[in-house]
Amino acid sequence: MRLKFEHTEERLTRRTGLVLIDRFGKRHKLSTKLDHAFPQPGSNRGKSASEYILTLVEMLIDGAMHLEDVRSFAADDAYQTMTHHEHYPTSDAIGNWLRRHGGKDGEQRLWSVITDLTTALTTERELTLDIDAVFIEANKGDATMSYHGERGYYPLVGVCPDLGVFIGSRFQQGNVSPQSDLVSFLQRCCQSLDGRIAIVRSDSAAYNHEVINECVAQGRCFSITADHDEAVMAMIRTIPASDWRKGTSRDGTEAEYDIAETVHTMHQTPQAFRLVVKRTWREKQADLFDGNYSYWIIATNIPVEEKNTQALIHFHEQRGEAERMFGELKEYYNLNHLPCGQMNANTLYFTIGLLAYNLVHLLKRHYFGAEWKNKSIRSLRYWWLHVAARLSTHARYMIAHVAMPKELFECFHSIYLRLTLQPAPA
């Protein structure tokens, strides 16, 4: 049978599921909080901060990569009607607003809103904080050369893997060391969750006496990848051969590495701490410093009664969850591409991307079934967000005729009703 194409004037949209994001934001008064956090527009005709920020949030969740992609939203009359959104700002206006309100001030203003949203929706205690730096290549504008030999930015990011959300960020030039002023960043991340951070976990960028002393002073545990410096390697060489034993995988089978531990201290740390060591035999040429073994070393003050040698290694390996979140942020929210040539504008754009990520995850966490909690935004777009619908209008209401399987539609409709009709949180 031959296929023919015809144009239609019916109000159709492919973004039906984004209405859930819109209703989730309205339920938690996100627009009001954003407008309170940022300066008001200079004239009555100016758009508020929430209009710019939430437009970018919708675009990033939808999969947009460029500011010009806002035209697709502006042309979607059905979606605008469903969300009561009259006019979208132009790409030029968005870029000008990012440049005007970006930088450290805009980053901190936006984080005050993100923090308020996260703490209002979570009550868990004894949480873990993962700290890492994420390189974003940007071969344009004022980006600087990193030690990778590429121009870009090196934002520092704080993740709470227990909640699956970002709880802090500091946007930086590519030539800034991840170790720079790490204690103040650690303090900001911990304050954002009202002191509920119990363990700080990091790669070797945090292996210094300032971070360790800060954790000890605040009564927090730490799990940090240690440097292979002379003092650390000297301590490892003193471990008796009888102390080394075979490691075990998470499924209980024997692993292809050995484990052991010892005790170490730095000159400027008042207390000693554990060095948990995982070593793997080198099949090829021996290393000039480490010899015939490859070592992975973890500095920690977590009591051995809470996490023995093997349990600590498995715990530290869970930093991979934060790396998975970084990967989703860059690849699926398209934050490996920053649209502006100025660092201040890109600072705010990147932070808006973190808001978009947290919104999606909090929506999944509180309104979707358990099987969707760990799904990526790509899966959500396929099943929930990029759903076609035809909009029709009656005397007092609109009807969205949604094209999706009946079982899925019933779940979608249930989530929508809960977001719309349940009493708003205090």
CA distances from 210 to 178, 206, 207, 267 (A): 14, 9, 9, 12
What is the DSSP annotation of 193-218?
Answer: TTT-EEEEEE-GGG-SHHHHHHHHHT
Res 287: pLDDT: 60
Are 99 and 345 a contacting pair, CB within 8 Å? yes
Which amino acid belongs to residue 134? V
Res 195: pLDDT: 84
pLDDT at 16 over 90: yes
Res 46: pLDDT: 82
- Digit-coded pLDDT (tens) for 27-85: 999 999 999 999 998 777 789 999 999 999 999 999 999 999 999 999 999 999 999 98
- Digit-coded pLDDT (tens) for 229-286: 999 999 999 999 999 999 999 999 999 999 999 999 998 998 999 999 999 987 766 5
Are 221 and 300 a contacting pair, CB within 8 Å? yes
CA distances from 137 to 124, 143, 268, 306, 336 (A): 35, 9, 36, 40, 7
pLDDT at 192 over 60: yes
Query: Residue ranges of the alpha helices (H) in 68-139?
Result: 70-74, 77-83, 91-101, 103-121
Mean pLDDT of the chain: 92
Taking CA 77 as the corner, what is the angle to CA 71 and CA 83, rounded to the nearest 5 degrees? 100
Query: What sign does the CA torsion over 154, 155, 159, 164 have?
Result: negative
Kindly give, in sequence order, each residue whose CB lies less than 8 Å from that of residue 51, ignoring residues fewer than 6 positions away.
Answer: 89
Are 272 and 265 a contacting pair, CB within 8 Å? yes
Mean pLDDT of 375-395: 93
Mean pLDDT of 175-179: 86
- Digit-coded pLDDT (tens) for 294-346: 899 999 999 999 999 999 999 999 999 999 999 999 999 999 999 999 999 99
CATH of 104-331, one of 3.40.50.1010, 1.20.120.10, 3.40.50.150, 3.90.350.10: 3.90.350.10
Mean pLDDT of 144-157: 89
Instruction: Characterize 318-344 residue by residue with b for buried, 16 or more Cβ atoms within 10 angstroms of its Cβ, and e for exposed.
Output: ebebbeebbebbbebbbbbebbbebbb
Q: Tell the burial category of 156 from Cβ atoms under 10 Å away from its Cβ (0-12, 13-18, 19+).
A: buried
Mean pLDDT of 382-405: 92
Helix (H) or strand (E) holding 243: none
Helix (H) or strand (E) holding 166: strand 165-170
Mean pLDDT of 15-20: 96
CA distances from 252 to 58, 249, 258 (A): 44, 5, 14
SS3 call for 90: coil
- Digit-coded pLDDT (tens) for 103-142: 999 999 999 999 999 998 888 889 999 999 999 998 878 8
Helix (H) or strand (E) holding 298: strand 293-300
Confidence of residue 357 (pLDDT cuts 50, 70, 90): very high
What distance in Å separates the CA atoms of residue 136 and residue 154, rounded to the nearest whole number? Answer: 6
What distance in Å separates the CA atoms of residue 22 and residue 85, rounded to the nearest whole number? Answer: 10
Closest alpha carbon to 16 in 74, 71, 63, 83: 83
β-strand partners of 200: 129, 222
Mean pLDDT of 391-412: 91
Percent of the residues in the chain that have a pLDDT greater than 90, as a whole number: 79
> Higher confidence at residue 423 or residue 236?
236
Res 418: pLDDT: 93
Crossing angle of the two packed helices 49-62 and 30-37, in degrees rounded to 10: 130
Instruction: State pTM to two decimals.
Output: 0.94
Kindly give, in sequence order, each residue whose CB lies less than 8 Å from that of residue 109, ignoring residues fewer than 6 positions away.
Answer: 37, 38, 101
Are 135 and 174 a contacting pair, CB within 8 Å? yes
Q: Which residues belong to CATH 3.90.350.10 in the chain? A: 104-331
